[in-house]
Structure 1
């Protein structure tokens, strides 16, 4: 019997009939759910082909993820999502409620939950896709970065993108917050299994043995600072190039300083604060940074979404065009590093970006482009 006819017949069966059929021919019932899921995915792929020219990412990621999509968070128990916030290039997820103490959490898992509708019954069985696993044993207390606090809450960054808020008086977890970059987010929330995450296929640019500076130019960067309520900063830079530099960061290629001239300095729209629920956590000078770096073929080379904190700048970076205290936001992982310099005008209550430098490791350039710098 053709698969199309079989699927049509199975779509008229209720749950009890499908359960009985699974004892006779489980393959057909697996096939039924997979076909329905693939049909939905084919529709979503068309939406994901529409690319935002500023970010280089699909512009309809939010619409696709909101369509019969959920997220669940696994501790010893499974928690449904409390709330989420989409931005152009990332999504922030939060869970709160009856959470255990941090020292009692050995592992955290995030699953994308996909609902597959049964046409006759109206029921929607769930298909899980493992998106993220965090093992507490791999991050000792000394590596858990303190990024802010107020009278009630202390914020800790366990790893890039994983933030916990701790009640000060009880040391129990008030909330867990995850920052996810939008690149391949639809696939990671749908294409993995309940025990295995989606593995991103390698996207290699074409090899070029003619250009002596292949892989060192034509970059595009989009960077935002935001919290759960509003966007603080959003800037795009194109036609970026790199140069070899070992003075600042061992074994690196460093992008040119993006914000340098006075005309490029931009005041931020409001203060840098971190929000939970409806209110900002007072005294927490931190936010979420989302960064997307594309190569000359518009392939994402480096993408990050993580909480970052604003700290006093002791690097010696001075801009005599402004009066005020100097601050710095830094981020570093195995691929690259970001340094953002700010001046705080106390009277105007504004922050102005006076410097932005992006570093990329030589090993990442070589592995991506097949070069040998």
Structure 2
């Protein structure tokens, strides 16, 4: 019986909200009797045949009253602002301006709102002042909090007393609910990320956290005409310190038609079905102007590979300028936060964590660095190394850069062989191939406090050396260069024809002095 009565109440409320306002005569403002719908020919019930929609003629008394009204001018306007007269009250009050929600008692409205879930209740609070006040009812949110987290003894803080004195309508239990939900959700993945690997300086469980949270990455391609195309990832290749995300399905665009490329981290709810699925929260990671200069880093018989900084690979069909695939390499440093805690329009802002400053050390910021360096492609690892105790003297600072010599040409014991050939495999639906002399470089530079100082994961390609520098090997000299405002990496390689492999004979990492001074509060 209670359910039937509640259903009849909601039905009558819905009919009242959908009811059309009564129509009125334009000249007098009097409501039109009857059903309020015009008959064929534009006539309303009660109108004679002579009605033509023109203005009504006035008698002598009405003309005199009209002239007097015009002559009074501002006095009439003032009186109309002060309030309608009893005679013109029908003209000023209109049923279409009547808010039916305000006519209901607040107890009934709160009862109706109690059937909503927290997300719907939060959205409803932005509709009007009345709904904002009712949707922040403290008793209402206390029931929601208790049903989710159980009972809790609430103690009013000083700041909350001040908010109540200022007339803040936000419920204390509402704030506690959202704070608990956010903390409970973030603790699920922040606690495992506290386990830091001394080898890489990164959390060990980054890949596990991304997979357990069901995080994926979406690509939004904006055309110059204003159309947007959202692509879900086709594949993701995880490595020790980075992940390569690949998009190849559903791309039917020419490269010169793309204006911007946006990368969003998306967390999908696996429990929701297709019918009940809500829009996923998107966290902006990268926004790139596709019109910026691109560099051709390799090609095969089907495609050519373009590089857009920072680290975006675009494969284009040769002779057609049609996009075949897009690959982006993402470093693990703060990748979980970047994929979850940003907004759809603004990326996650990493908090600045300054290491303790040791005034007793005159060369702080010039020594004690560690480097984790990896060369790989989408399937295999070409070279990996961990180098410690890297330093640079003050006299060695040149061109505003602090040079950290990781592998020196003169020390043969430091030279490394690269396993396999340097190539970048690609796939598009049923077609696949590989671009030679191109791979991914993942670099993690740690300061003397073992905190990440410079992290980058980007495509890199081999070029011929302008001059021969290695006299210890009989082979052709090559180099691999990476240069941005955040730092530089220079690799020297030798191709040994007999062994059919590359040898890494030199590796130098350079970081700007301004970056070192800002990090360690120095003036080098």
1:341 is aligned, of 483, 492, 496, to: 492
Cα deviation for residue 347 of structure 1 reads 2.3
| CA distance, structure 2, for counterparts of residue 49 and residue 252 of structure 1 | 32
Give the aligned partner of residue 301 of structure 1. 453
Give the aligned partner of residue 199 of structure 2. 54
Matched, 1:84 2:233: no
Q: Is the CA contact (8 Å cut-off) linking 2:442 and 2:456 kept in structure 1?
A: yes
| SS across alignment from 1:196 | coil
Matched, 1:226 2:376: yes
In the superposition, relative to structure 1, how do residues 372 and 115 fare at CA in structure 2: closer, same or farther (>3 Å)?
same
In the superposition, relative to structure 1, how do residues 257 and 70 fare at CA in structure 2: closer, same or farther (>3 Å)?
closer
2:519 is aligned, of 336, 350, 368, to: 368
Cα deviation for residue 36 of structure 1 reads 4.2
Cα deviation for residue 179 of structure 1 reads 1.0
Q: Which residues of 2 match residues 6-17 of structure 1 at below 5 A?
A: none
Matched, 1:155 2:305: yes
In the superposition, relative to structure 1, how do residues 245 and 109 fare at CA in structure 2: closer, same or farther (>3 Å)?
farther
Give the aligned partner of residue 69 of structure 2. none
**Larger RCO (CA within 8 A; separation ≥ 6):** 1
2:354 is aligned, of 184, 204, 228, to: 204
Matched, 1:102 2:255: yes
In the superposition, relative to structure 1, how do residues 267 and 99 fare at CA in structure 2: closer, same or farther (>3 Å)?
same
Cα deviation for residue 203 of structure 1 reads 1.6
Give the TM-score taking structure 1 as reference length.
0.87
Cα deviation for residue 252 of structure 1 reads 1.3
Give the aligned partner of residue 6 of structure 1. none
| CA distance, structure 2, for counterparts of residue 201 and residue 303 of structure 1 | 15
| SS across alignment from 1:40 | helix
Matched, 1:71 2:221: no
Cα deviation for residue 13 of structure 1 reads 7.9
Higher strand proportion, which one?
1
1:356 is aligned, of 463, 483, 507, to: 507
Q: Is the CA contact (8 Å cut-off) linking 1:64 and 1:186 kept in structure 2?
A: yes
Unaligned runs of 5+ in 1: 1-11
Q: Is the CA contact (8 Å cut-off) linking 1:37 and 1:116 kept in structure 2?
A: no
Q: Is the CA contact (8 Å cut-off) linking 1:130 and 1:189 kept in structure 2?
A: yes
Give the TM-score taking structure 2 as reference length.
0.63
Give the aligned partner of residue 402 of structure 2. 253
| CA distance, structure 2, for counterparts of residue 209 and residue 317 of structure 1 | 41
Q: Which residues of 2 match residues 241-280 of structure 1 at below 5 A?
A: 241-244=391-394, 250-260=399-409, 261-277=411-427
How many equivalent residue pairs?
355
| CA distance, structure 2, for counterparts of residue 123 and residue 171 of structure 1 | 37
| CA distance, structure 2, for counterparts of residue 134 and residue 33 of structure 1 | 34
Unaligned runs of 5+ in 2: 1-113, 125-130, 145-173, 222-227
Q: Is the CA contact (8 Å cut-off) linking 1:131 and 1:198 kept in structure 2?
A: yes
Deviations 1:149-183 (A, max 9, x none): 00011011111311101100211111111111110
Give the aligned partner of residue 46 of structure 2. none
In the superposition, relative to structure 1, how do residues 14 and 82 fare at CA in structure 2: closer, same or farther (>3 Å)?
farther
Q: Is the CA contact (8 Å cut-off) linking 1:149 and 1:281 kept in structure 2?
A: no
Q: In terms of mean alpha carbon deviation, does 311-320 or 291-300 score higher? A: 311-320
| CA distance, structure 1, for counterparts of residue 503 and residue 115 of structure 2 | 62
Q: Report the aligned-residue RMSD.
A: 2.8
